[in-house]
Every structure is written in structure tokens, then in C-alpha cells.
Amino acid sequence: MTRSSLVYAVFVCASVVCLGSAVFAARSSAEMTADLERAVGLIDKRRPADALPILQRIGAENPDFVAERPGKEFPLHIAAILGEAYYRTGHWAEAIAWLQRYYPWQRARWPSADSFTPSIIADCRSHMLAEGAPTEPLALVEGRRFVSAPELSIQGGASTAPLRRLCEDLAASVTWDDSTQSATASLGPKTITFTLGTNFAAANGRWISLPAVPYLNAEWRMVVPVRPLVEALGGEVRWEPEAQMIHLTLPQQGTSPAGGMS
């Protein structure tokens, strides 16, 4: 075989492999959709344990797989169905992990629709706590995003989180004053100013005592206690003791986050 013939043969083989891979990918997607439909049928028949192996294979191959199902009312997201199967079989931690993966997609797809996902996650956490399983702190911000460790932590019995990231979730703005080593969060007319290393904050024109001292984490972000921040901005912090979950809500929307280090 001449050199040119060898090169041509290699090119043909590579083309066949690529074509075969493309065909396999297309077939794989169709097969995953069929398997997902079959697993949903098993769950509907109250056989979630039989559905789990099918769903686990899909989840391992593509943890964000969505079967759009043209002509049907709702698409199927593997994380939602797998989370439900784990929930129905009493695998609480696995159910939480998959449902938390699904929730941002769900909120993006249907932003104004009510969701049972946080309630299911709370129920899973309640079961885990009742069984004595260790659980990390968890917060749901404005019904949109779950915040968990290491972003959310407990310091001296108070929940703390990075100021800027939390303000982004709450649609509040943040400014940093390098001369005083302080950061001010604002939402409309409401403000609160935290200073590094100080257990007092200026909230709407008055001084308040903080349950935890603001500090800089390893990423040079200011970490502050959650409750004083949310309440100073006019919001509400609701503690769900059975699930050890924090719900953070605000009655209004403010300006876009802006400027500074925090």
C-alpha cells in the first residue's frame, strides 16, 4: 500500500467512526427518552424501586438530560424523575441532591409557577433528621435558589453567607468602602452597613448588634450574618425547624447589584 493509500484508508476509517458516533448519540437520546417514559410508568404504578436502575443509568450518562416530548404537556428532566424515585424509596440524601440539581432548571422554565420541589426537599431533610443523619445547613432564597455549605455556614449559632452573592439573589446592591473596611447593602430606601471585625451594624439609621462578626473568607469575600441583612432590607427570615431550613423572602425588588468588594 502506498503512503497516499494508507492516509486515505485512515481518513475513511476515521469518518466511519465519527459517523457511527453521531448515529449512536442520536440513538442514545431516543433510547434515553424511551427509558425515561418507561421509568415514569413504573413510578406511576408504585414501583419506584424497579424504576431506579433505569434512571440511574440515564443519570450517569447525562445528569441534565431532558426529554421534551413534542405534543405532551410537560418535558421530563432526569434529575426530577430520579429525585422522585429516590424520594419514594426512602433515599433522602440522594433525592435532595437530584432535586436541587433540577430546581434551577425548573425555575428558569416556569419562573412564576408554584413548585412542590422545596417542600419535597424539606420533607427529605425532616426524615434524615428524624433518623439521626447529619445534615448541612440549607437556605432557600426568594424561592429561586438553594444555598448550602460551604457557601452557607453556622457561626456562633447564626447562619452566615457571603454578602455579595446573597444580595444578588435578593436583588439588592452592594458598595464597598475601603477606607472603613465596610460594605453597605441597599434595597430601595433600606440599607445596612457591615464592618469587618465589628459585631455592630448600621441598619436604617440605627445601630444593631450582630449575632456573628463579619469576616473575609478564603476568596476575600465578606461573610455576614443572614438574618440582620434580610430583615434590615425589609425581608423575612423563616426557620423551618423540622427540616432545619431557612426561607429568605423580600417584599420588594431593588436595583441591580453594583460595585466594590464584598
Q: Kindly report the CATH number assigned to the domain that includes residue 29.
A: 1.25.40.10
Q: Judge contact between 175 and 184, C-beta under 8 A.
A: yes
pLDDT attached to residue 1: 52
- Is the same domain home to 116 and 144? no
pLDDT attached to residue 20: 43
pLDDT attached to residue 9: 47
- Is the same domain home to 121 and 145? no
d(CA 231, CA 250): 9
pLDDT attached to residue 114: 81
CATH of the domain at 225: 3.30.457.10
Q: Judge contact between 183 and 175, C-beta under 8 A.
A: yes
Q: Final residue of a domain: which of 90, 105, 130?
A: 130
**pTM of the shown model:** 0.77
Q: Is residue 258 part of a domain?
A: no
Q: Is residue 94 part of a domain?
A: yes
- Is the same domain home to 194 and 108? no
Q: Is residue 260 part of a domain?
A: no
Q: Judge contact between 138 and 125, C-beta under 8 A.
A: yes
Low-confidence ranges of the chain (pLDDT < 50): 3, 6-26, 253-262
- Is the same domain home to 116 and 21? yes
pLDDT attached to residue 124: 97
pLDDT attached to residue 17: 41
- Is the same domain home to 170 and 72? no
d(CA 183, CA 176): 4
pLDDT attached to residue 45: 97
- Is the same domain home to 125 and 180? no
What is the extent of the structural domain holding 174?
Answer: 138-249
pLDDT attached to residue 196: 98
Q: Final residue of a domain: which of 71, 106, 130?
A: 130
* Total of domains in the chain: 2
Q: Is 261 exposed, middle or buried (0-12, 13-18, 19+ CB in 10 A)?
A: middle
In DSSP terms, which residues pair with 159 in a beta bridge?
154
- Is the same domain home to 83 and 99? yes
Q: Is residue 259 part of a domain?
A: no
pLDDT attached to residue 228: 97
pLDDT attached to residue 251: 67
Q: Final residue of a domain: which of 86, 106, 130?
A: 130
- Is the same domain home to 235 and 167? yes
- Is the same domain home to 145 and 227? yes
- Is the same domain home to 95 and 197? no
- Is the same domain home to 92 and 150? no
Residue 47: which residues within 8 A CB-CB, separation 6 or more? Answer: none
Q: Is residue 261 part of a domain?
A: no
- Is the same domain home to 227 and 170? yes
Q: Is residue 256 part of a domain?
A: no
Q: Is residue 255 part of a domain?
A: no
